[in-house]
Amino acid sequence: MKGWNPAHELSQTSCIIATQCIITGDVQAYTATHNNQGNQDHLPHSLSAKVLDKILENPYEWQKRLLPARYGRNPDPVESKDFHKWLNVILKEIRKDLNKILLTNMHIPNRAKKTPSLLNVPTIETMIVKAIGILIDLQKRTRLHWRSRYAWLADLTLRFQQRMQLIHWGYNLADYNNHSFWAVVDNKLEELRTKSVRYCYVYFHEVLSLDFDQFDGERAFTEIQKTTDFALPSEEEVQARIKHLDQTHRAVIGEKEAFHQ
């Protein structure tokens, strides 16, 4: 960059913060910063906003030393633009890292090596164990405080349910108008924000059930391909499940449902 340039310390810190946010945060969008539909509201919990908020939680002296001059108060517009461009590169790399985890031992069109892996596709539980190791390391390095055990385990599970979306996208690019994977995810999250808490809970529950059924950790992807089309839950399936919950629990929102509020 010709103007502002990031220090190594800032790069390290930002990567750690971004990893924490993408794995454990209540991310509203991974690439978008505003809603695309309606009033196009700003998303305070977009990945970009969450990472920037975390960076600005650092002490003033730290910010003064590492961020563009007067950033957050009366910043230089050129240096601020350089900073935001650089931060977007960091976020792009973090999304790639999550993609690699989601695609462990997978083989989908245009997103994998030519030779399919012969290794078994891991279960979501296996990926969560790997992510927990990352979380523990982050906690030691940053002294972060996690929410309740259920909350951050639920966070992890929701992050990894995107595996089914990723596979469906990879095999049906034309149906998604050749949009990027994370744009597809953001569009789905925006749609879900217009739905009820129970709808969101049911949708994620159905996706996870499909994942658990198809990826038992004992088969390679080429074998799994022979018996499934990797379809996502249909609207009819979601509504049927909602009807069942309405009949059995009525308007009472359980703990697991409440997580989607």
Q: Give the residue extent of every domain in the chain.
A: 148-261
Q: How many CB atoms lie within 10 A of CB 231?
A: 12
Give the residue carrying structure tokens 């405080």.
145
Q: How does 219-229 read in b/e, with b if 16+ C-beta sit within 10 Å? A: ebbeebbeeee
pLDDT tens, per residue, the chain with 261 residues: 467 899 999 998 999 899 888 877 679 999 999 998 877 789 999 999 999 999 999 999 999 999 998 887 888 889 999 999 999 999 999 999 888 888 899 988 766 566 778 899 999 888 877 777 776 676 666 555 544 444 555 556 666 778 899 999 999 988 999 899 999 999 999 999 999 989 988 998 899 899 999 999 999 999 999 988 889 999 999 999 999 998 887 766 665 555 555
Model pLDDT, residue 148: 46
Q: How does 3-20 read in b/e, with b if 16+ C-beta sit within 10 Å? A: ebebeeebeebbbbbbbb
Least Cα distance to 54 among 67, 36, 73, 41 occurs for 67
Least Cα distance to 229 among 162, 164, 158 occurs for 164
CA distance 16 to 23: 11
Model pLDDT, residue 84: 94
Model pLDDT, residue 149: 46
Model pLDDT, residue 224: 94
pTM here is 0.85
CA distance 128 to 143: 21
CA distance 120 to 12: 33
**Residues 27, 46 contacting (CB under 8 angstroms):** yes
Least Cα distance to 36 among 193, 175, 228, 209 occurs for 193
Q: Judging by beta carbons within 10 Å of its beta carbon (0-12, 13-18, 19+), is residue 24 exposed, middle or buried?
A: buried
Model pLDDT, residue 176: 92
Give the residue carrying structure tokens 């095999």.
171
Q: How many CB atoms lie within 10 A of CB 196?
A: 14
